[in-house]
Amino acid sequence: MQIAKRLDRLPPYLFVDINQKIAELRAKGEDIISFAIGDPDLPTPAHIIEYMCHAAHDPTNHRYPETAGLPELRQAIAEWYEKRFGVILNPDKEVLPLVGSKEGIGHIALCFIEPGDIALVPDPGYPPFPMGTILAGGEPYSMPLKEGNDFLPDFESIPEEIADKARLMWLNYPNNPTGAVAELDFFEKAAHFARQHNLAVCHDAAYTEVTFEDYRPPSFMQISGATDIGVEFHSLSKTYHMTGWRIGMAVGNAGMIEALFRVKSNLDSGIPQAIQHAAIGALRGSQNCIAEHNAILQQRRDKLMRVLNEVGLKARVPKATFYIWAEVPQGYSSVNFTKKLLDEAGIAVTPGIGYGKEGEGYIRFSLTISDDRLEQGISRLSSWHARKYHCEER
Ligand SMILES: Cc1ncc(COP(=O)(O)O)c(C=O)c1O
Statement: residue 392 has pLDDT above 50: no
Q: What percent of the chain has pLDDT over 70?
A: 98
215-243 mean pLDDT? 97
Q: Is the pTM of this model over 0.85?
A: yes
Ligand 1 site, residue 133, Cβ cutoff 6 A: no
Ligand 1 site, residue 172, Cβ cutoff 6 A: yes
Label residue 394 by pLDDT band (50, 70, 90).
very low
> What is the distance between the alpha carbons of residues 350 and 354, in angstroms, rounded to a whole number?
7
Ligand 1 site, residue 139, Cβ cutoff 6 A: no
Coil, strand, or helix at residue 144? strand
Statement: residue 256 has pLDDT above 50: yes
Q: At what angle do helices 101-112 and 128-135 cross, to 10 degrees?
A: 40
Ligand 1 site, residue 380, Cβ cutoff 6 A: no
Give the residue, by CA position, lying nearest to ligand 1 atom 5. Answer: 102
The whole-number pLDDT of residue 13 equals 67
> What is the distance between the alpha carbons of residues 182 and 171, in angstroms, rounded to a whole number?
10
Ligand 1 site, residue 102, Cβ cutoff 6 A: yes
210-225 mean pLDDT? 97
Bond into 71 cis (ω within 30): no
Ligand 1 site, residue 120, Cβ cutoff 6 A: no
Distance 233 CA to ligand 1 centre (A): 9
Query: For ligand 1, what atom is nearest to the CA of residue 101?
Result: 10
218-223 mean pLDDT? 98
Ligand 1 site, residue 237, Cβ cutoff 6 A: yes
Bond into 124 cis (ω within 30): yes
Residue pLDDT, tens place only, 123-168: 999 999 999 999 999 999 999 999 999 999 999 999 999 999 999 9
Mean pLDDT of the chain: 95
Give every CB contact of residue 14 below 8 A, 6+ residues apart in sequence.
127, 350, 354, 355
Statement: residue 270 has pLDDT above 90: yes
Query: For ligand 1, what atom is nearest to the CA of residue 102?
Result: 11
203-211 mean pLDDT? 98
How distant, in Å, are the alpha carbons of 50, 73, 235, 362 from that of 170?
A: 36, 26, 16, 21
Phi, psi dihedrals of residue 387, rounded to the nearest 5°: -75, -10
The whole-number pLDDT of residue 254 equals 98
The whole-number pLDDT of residue 388 equals 63
Higher pLDDT, 231 or 23: 231
Distance from CA of residue 12 to its chain's centroid? 18
Residue pLDDT, tens place only, 50-107: 999 999 999 999 999 999 999 999 999 999 999 999 999 999 999 999 999 999 999 9
Q: Which residues pair with 306 in a beta bridge?
A: none
Range with the poorest average pLDDT among 3-7, 114-118, 143-147: 3-7
Bridge-based pairing state of the strands 362-366 and 323-327: antiparallel
Distance 302 CA to ligand 1 centre (A): 24
